[in-house]
Structure 1
Amino acid sequence: MDIKKIDKNMIDGEKNDSSVKWYNNYREDFQVHGLYWFDQNHSFCRLREQANISDNVNHLAYHPSGAFLSFMTDSPSISLCVSLSSAAYMSHMSACGQCGLDLYFWDGKNFVFLATTKINKAEYEITMIDHLPKKMRYYRLYLPTYTKLIDIAVGINSQAQLKKWGFFYPEAVVCYGTSITQGGCVTRPGMSYPSILGRNIEYEVYNLGFSGSAKLEQSIAQEIATIKEMKYLIIEAEANCEQGNLLEKRLPVFIDTVNQANKKVKIYVISHYPRPDSLIKDEVKKLMKLNATIQKNICKKYQNVEFIDGKKLLKKFAYEETVDGVHLTDLGFYEVAKFFSKKLKKKND
C-alpha cells in the first residue's frame, strides 16, 4: 500500500507550473547569507575555493549548510527549481535533512518555519507553498546541509514581485567542527544549531562544520582568521581528534593562528557531547574524560578561550538527543543553540 494514497500530507508536492516566473540571479535577486566567500567564489562553497585544504574538506565545503537566501515577495505561491549533486544517500538522516531546503518567513517578531522540500531527487521543480494571501513578506530559504547545490531558482506568480531583502550584521559567529556542527543529523536544514543560532541573535553565522574531516588543521584556522567580522568562534572537533595526541598538538596551534589575526575574538571549545556507550565501555569513558581534561587545560592558558563541557550541556536529556549515539537530532541541536543564544546575548548586555 502506498502511504501517499493513505495520507495526502505524505505527497512530495513536485509540480511544474507554466505560470511561474523564475529568479536565479543570486546577486541581484537575493541577499546570500552564510557564505563568507560567495562574491569571490561565485559558487555555494563555504570556504575560499583556492584555499589550501584537503580533498575531503574541499568536497564538504560545497555542502552549503547554514547558508540561506533572503528575499521578499507578495506571491501567493513559492516554487523552486533545484539541481543537486545527488539525492539523499544516508540511512540515518532524512532526505529533508540531507538535501532539502527550508522556507521561513518573518512574522514581525521571529522567523517562523513555513515549508520544506519533501522530495528525494537530484533535480526537480516543486511548489513549496501556495494559496497564500497576497501580501509582501520576508523570507529565508535555507540551503542543503549534506549535498552540493549546483543551481537553484525561486519561482513566484508571474504577477507578483520579488525583491532582495536583508542586510549583513556587522559582527559574526563562526561555528567550526565535525558532522554535528555541519548538521548531522537534523530533520531539515533550518534545525542545525548554527542555523537556529542565526535566527536567535543579531550576528552573521557561518557554519564551517566539515563532517569527519574537521581535524583542527592550521590551514583551516588560517582561512577562518581572515573573517574580519568574527567576534565569536565555536570549536567542536574532539570527535575527529580523539586518537593519539591530535588535540594536544593541533588545538593550541589552531587557537594561536586565529588569535594572531584577531585580537578581540572570543573562542569557545566544546568537548564531546554525551555518548551512551560510555556507560558500558570503560575505555570510552576514560577517553572522553581524558580529552575533556586536555581541552580544558588548553583553554585555561588563554584569556579569551572558554571551555564548554559538551556532556554537561546535554546531560538533562539522558542520552535521548542523538539518532545513533553520536549525531544529534533536533532535540540536541535546539538545546545547543539555546545555550549559545543566551551566552552570546549576555555578553552584549
Structure 2
Amino acid sequence: MTYWKENLLGSLFCICSFFASAQEQVTQPVLGTAILQGRVQVMDTVMNFGRLPIELKDQVRKPVWGLGQNSAGVYLDFKTSAKTITVRYQVQGGLAMPHMPTTGVSGLDLYVQEDKAGQWSWIHGKYSFKDTISYTFSQFNAPKDGTFRLYLPLYNTVSWMDISVDKGADLSFQHQKSKPIIVYGTSIAQGACASRPGLAWTNWLGRSFDKEVINLAFSGNGRLEQPILDLIKVEDAAVFILDCIPNLDVKEEDGERKLIALIENAVRTIREKHPQVPIVMAAHSSSDVAHIANTNTQEDYQARSMVAEQAIKQLQGRGDKNLYWISSQDFGLDLESTVDYAHPNDYGMDKIAKAYIKLLKGLGL
C-alpha cells in the first residue's frame, strides 16, 4: 500500500510539474505576413513554409513544385529576452536520407548575432524527432539586443510551426529590408549534404552579408527553366547566382549546344530587367578534384563545366561586363570535401561558401 501511494504521489508530482512547466512559456504560431525570410517578395503574404507561389504550380514540372514546398534557406529573425526558446513543428516527408542526417533534412538551427559588426554565435539545442518535432534552446548567453536567426529544414516540407518563450519575455519578429542575393541551383545549393541547416552554403552566405539570401534550389531539378527565371527576374536583387551546372548534362545528342542556349537564355531573361546587376555562373563544384579514381564521373563534370565556361566567356566578349564565372578551382574541393563526390559535407560547404564570399566581396557587396 505504501509503495502504491508513493507511486501515485510521484505520478501526480510529474503531472503537476509538466503543467507548471508548460505554463511558464507562451506560445506563438510562426506564420504571418513577412515573418519568414529567404523567399521571393510575392511569398510575403503566403501562409505556408514553401518557396514557390501557387501561380507556378501549373507552370513548373511536378518535382520542381514538390521540392519548392521544402523550406530550404527559409529562416526567421526575431528578438527576445527569453532564456529558453522552444520550437515545435511537423513535417510531411521522411526525416532523413541515406546520405544526409535527420538534423540536416528535417532539423532546425539557431544562431544569434552578437553585435552590429555581424558576429554570429551558434546555439545548440535539445531535439526530439517524433510525430511532432521539438527543439529546446536553453542555457545560452545572448546579448541584450541580439538578433536570433532560426533556419528551417533543408529537405522537408513544414506543415505547421510554433515558437514558445518564457512567460513575461518579449518576442518580436524582424524582417530585413535589403536587396537580396538570389540563388537558383541544384541539390548542392538546396543544402545536400549539410549536417544541419546553418551549414548549407547559402545560409553560410547569409550570415556573411547584411542581405537576405533567397534559396531557389531544387534537388536534381535546377535546370535553368523559364518559369523560375521569370520568377527571379522581377526581384530587385543585389546579385543573381546561377548554380545549375550539376543538373545540366552534355552527354546527350547536341548537348553542348543545348546547354549554351540555356545559359544564354538565362542571362538574357535576367538582363531584361537588370542590365547591370551582377550575374554569377558556377562550375560544378566537383569537376576538378585531384586523385578521384572514378575518371568517368570526373570527365562528365568537367565537360559540362567547360561548356558553361565557354558560354560565359562568349557573353562577356559580347560586352556583358557584369557577368562572372566561378570555377571548380575557386571552390577548391578535395578528397575529404564530399559525401559522394557530388554533394559536399560540412567541410565542403565551408569551402563553397568561402569562394562565393570572396567573389561577392570583390564585387562590393
* Bin of the TM-score, shorter chain as denominator length: 0.7 to 0.9
Count of paired positions: 330
CA distance 1:116–1:224, change in 2 (3 Å): farther
Q: Which SS does the other structure have where 1:190 is aligned?
A: helix
CA distance in 1, matches of 2:237, 2:303: 30
- The counterpart of 2:81, out of the listed 68, 74, 77, is 74
Q: Which SS does the other structure have where 1:96 is aligned?
A: helix
Partner of 1:238: 245
Partner of 1:162: 171
Partner of 1:27: 32
Q: Higher Cα Rg: structure 1 or 2?
A: 2
CA RMSD in angstroms comes to 2.4
CA distance in 2, matches of 1:210, 1:133: 35
Aligned-pair identity (%):
24
CA distance in 2, matches of 1:133, 1:204: 22
Q: Which SS does the other structure have where 1:164 is aligned?
A: strand
CA distance 1:212–1:278, change in 2 (3 Å): farther
Mean CA deviation greater in 72-81 or 17-26: 17-26
**1:88-107 mapped onto 2 (5 Å cutoff):** 88-107=95-114
**1:39-118 mapped onto 2 (5 Å cutoff):** 39-51=44-56, 52-108=59-115, 109=117, 110-116=119-125, 118=127
Partner of 1:218: 226
Q: CA deviation at 1:180?
A: 0.1
Partner of 1:319: 335
**1:286-297 mapped onto 2 (5 Å cutoff):** 286-297=299-310
Does 1:260 find its partner at 2:272? yes
CA distance 1:35–1:117, change in 2 (3 Å): farther
CA distance in 2, matches of 1:271, 1:305: 14
Q: Which SS does the other structure have where 1:332 is aligned?
A: helix
CA contact (8 A) 1:63 1:148 kept: yes
Q: CA deviation at 1:278?
A: 8.1
CA distance in 1, matches of 2:304, 2:213: 27
CA distance in 2, matches of 1:121, 1:346: 45
> Mind listing any 5+ residue stretches in structure 1 that lack a counterpart?
1-14
CA distance in 2, matches of 1:145, 1:117: 19
CA contact (8 A) 1:221 1:257 kept: yes
Q: Which SS does the other structure have where 1:337 is aligned?
A: helix
- The counterpart of 2:209, out of the listed 201, 211, 214, is 201
CA distance 1:131–1:322, change in 2 (3 Å): closer
Normalising by structure 2, we get a TM-score of 0.83
CA contact (8 A) 1:85 1:122 kept: no
Letter in 2 for 1:306: Y
Q: Deviations over 1:4-47 (max 9, x none)?
A: xxxxxxxxxxx98412210115337x842101232242222212
CA distance in 2, matches of 1:280, 1:181: 25
Mean CA deviation greater in 132-141 or 180-189: 132-141
Partner of 1:280: 293
CA distance 1:24–1:194, change in 2 (3 Å): same
Q: CA deviation at 1:166?
A: 4.5
Partner of 1:5: none
CA distance in 1, matches of 2:281, 2:131: 36
